[in-house]
Chains A and B, each alone.
Chain A
Amino acid sequence: SQKIEQNSEALNIQEGKTATLTCNYTNYSPAYLQWYRQDPGRGPVFLLLIRENEKEKRKERLKVTFDTTLKQSLFHITASQPADSATYLCALDESGTASKLTFGTGTRLQVTL
């Protein structure tokens, strides 16, 4: 069966450290993989998109890697800040048309001083 797995346990890290979140998937062949941030009581906000033929993508303090052989994406936040505390969702786009996304359950990140 198809499955997208993100660590359901919260990730607690100290300010200034690098946070690494994992997204593993099985029985999918995504053309694109996206990462979103969701704050409590709000809708998800897009962060980064990476294509199947890209290994890595960066945006400011954010970095995403995509390994289609391991069927895994890693999401890194460097020099983390308390304001980075949120739930991070990965989403797969297999369809290529209509950009339909299948979401993981998300990982909650807590950055402490």
Chain B
Amino acid sequence: NAGVTQTPKFRILKIGQSMTLQCTQDMNHNYMYWYRQDPGMGLKLIYYSVGAGITDKGEVPNGYNVSRSTTEDFPLRLELAAPSQTSVYFCASSYSTGRGHEQYFGPGTRLTVT
């Protein structure tokens, strides 16, 4: 199993550009999440999904969009990039049976907006 994979690893965007961060998991997890991590700060939840076709906002959703058309994929879309979106983005997934399951994280995408 590859686990959770993310592409790209690094990206530099100009202000106003758009891009999609890709996330794929091969563990058949129903739950998937997007976080951002700024230096010295904890991970902040952007969006999450409890299954294909279902998404919901997390703590910091403004400026982002997501979709979940399959169990495996959970792309994150930035429509109009702003310097405040410079961050490291992590995708994660977890089991959905029962409660309190650990999350499996991808390697992250480092995004710089200039």
A contact set with B: CB distance below 8 Å: 4, 8, 31-32, 34, 41-46, 49, 51, 89, 93, 96-106
Contacts and interface: CB of A to CB of B under 8 A. Distances in A.
A96 B90 contact: no
B102 A46 contact: yes
Interface string B62-103: 000000000000000000000000000010101000011111
Given A43-B106, A44-B90, A93-B100, A101 B45 contact: yes
Interface of B: 4, 31, 33, 35, 40-45, 48, 50, 56, 58-59, 90, 92, 94, 99-108
Contacts, number: 65
Given A43-B90, A43-B106, A99 B40 contact: no
Q: Which of A4, A45, A99, A106 has the most CB of B within 10 A?
A: A99
B42 A96 contact: no
Contact of A34 (B4, B42, B58, B102): B102
B108 A103 contact: no
A99 B94 contact: yes
8 contacts: A4-B42, A43-B4, A46-B103, A93-B100, A96-B100, A98-B48, A98-B56, A103-B44
Given A98-B50, A99-B103, 13 more contacts: A31-B99, A42-B108, A43-B107, A44-B103, A49-B100, A96-B99, A97-B99, A98-B56, A99-B100, A100-B45, A101-B103, A105-B41, A106-B42
Contacts of B35: 103
A97 B96 CA distance: 8
B48 A42 contact: no
Nearest to A50: B100
